[in-house]
Amino acid sequence: MLNIQSIWEADRNIRDFAMVTPILHSEALFRDLGFRLMLKAENLQTTNSFKIRGASNCILNRAKASPGIKGVVTASSGNHGQAVAYVAWKLGLPSAIIMPETAPKAKVDAVSRWGARVEFCGTTSQQRLARSKQVALEEGYIEIPPYDHYDVIAGQGTIGKEILEQVPDVDIVLVPIGGGGLISGISTFIKNIKPQVQVIGVEPENSNSMWVSINKGEITQLERTASIADGLLTLRPGSLTFPLVKKYVDRIMLVSESEILDALRTCIQYFKAVPEPSGAVSIAAALKGNWGKDKKVVSVVSGGNFDMDKLPGFLGV
């Protein structure tokens, strides 16, 4: 089960691996927008994404439960794989990372940097998850799920704890959704401590499995996904994350590809920070919403890993 105590324990557990990331402000943007938009800058996190939190908490807890483990394996579009590879490297464990054939070169290189064995498998999360389970069975590795595991969700929930400490009077928190692990952890913590704070999920219009599932009232699998936000291309929500999102998240917003690119440009212009498109969806939602004067809005920028040679195209130059 996931509860406040498990998130507090995760916060103590991960401190040798994850840092407390800053809240970024822009007075110029405040004047232009009329509300205060702040960024929870997980793009500045160890391995440049929030994934280090859940990965380290899960690996450490699994290692305690199974001393003498042979190694770890996971399925990942990049950021979770990099986090697992980094934690395994620090602990002296072998790791295998199952990545999509379409993974950006920057993310593949980042995983390989930490000595992980990279395998490419298909283009969908379901294909990668199946291969990850096969490797775990064949090689005796422990599988570290990318989002649908309580230890992973608890690790991601530490972001919610930090936001309430850094911005005690926050009104709205905007969170990207892929499989739902990030928003499940954040919303569980925030809604149990300050239920008046709105927690809003954000998905790309063409990769909206959580939005579809919530509206249908049951976990629903999409036929396909497509977005420049490559870290959010999940065909179906997790069996653990879906009920948590249904319970704690106020609503889900959808953003277009052009809105994501506009958000990326805005982030660079006003905050001098470069998020990956998946991390920029929460900024896109902030710019799209009608929040009211003087509201304090925190957008969780989930990561900053992407091929830099694509940046000119993203910026239209």
Q: Which CATH number fits the domain that encloses residue 286?
A: 3.40.50.1100
Assess whether 55 and 172 both reside in one domain: no
Assess whether 125 and 159 both reside in one domain: no
CA count, 13 A, side-chain hemisphere, 56? 30
Assess whether 303 and 293 both reside in one domain: yes
Tell me, rounded to whole angstroms, the distance of Cα 214 from its chain centroid: 19
Of the candidates 128, 143, 158, which is a domain's last residue? Answer: 143
Assess whether 114 and 179 both reside in one domain: no
Q: What is the pLDDT of residues 198-214, one digit of tens each?
A: 999 999 999 999 999 99
Distance of alpha carbon 54 from alpha carbon 62, whole angstroms: 12
Q: What is the pLDDT of residues 233-255, one digit of tens each?
A: 889 999 999 999 999 999 999 99
CB atoms inside a 10 Å sphere around CB 302: 32
Of the candidates 114, 143, 172, which is a domain's last residue? Answer: 143
pLDDT higher than 80, residue 294:
yes
pLDDT higher than 90, residue 311:
no
Distance of alpha carbon 302 from alpha carbon 91, whole angstroms: 24
Assess whether 87 and 206 both reside in one domain: no
Contact 282, 175 (CB under 8 A): yes
Task: Map tokens 């996190």 to a residue.
Answer: 45
**pTM for the model:** 0.95
Residue-number span of the structural domain to which 262 is assigned: 4-49+150-315
Distance of alpha carbon 96 from alpha carbon 153, whole angstroms: 21
Distance of alpha carbon 306 from alpha carbon 106, whole angstroms: 6
**Predicted local confidence at residue 153, as pLDDT:** 99
Assess whether 31 and 66 both reside in one domain: no
Q: What is the pLDDT of residues 75-104, one digit of tens each?
A: 987 899 999 999 999 999 999 999 989 877
Assess whether 10 and 132 both reside in one domain: no
Assess whether 173 and 288 both reside in one domain: yes
CA count, 13 A, side-chain hemisphere, 152? 22
Q: Please report, for the chain, how many H helices and E strands are present, in that order.
A: 13, 10
Domain count, the chain: 2
Distance of alpha carbon 158 from alpha carbon 171, whole angstroms: 18
At residue 199, the 3 state secondary structure works out as: strand
Residue 187: name the closest of 203, 202, 169, 199 by CA. 199
Assess whether 91 and 157 both reside in one domain: no
Assess whether 219 and 305 both reside in one domain: yes
Assess whether 37 and 115 both reside in one domain: no
Assess whether 161 and 310 both reside in one domain: yes
Q: Write down the H helix ranges in 194-276.
A: 209-216, 241-248, 257-266
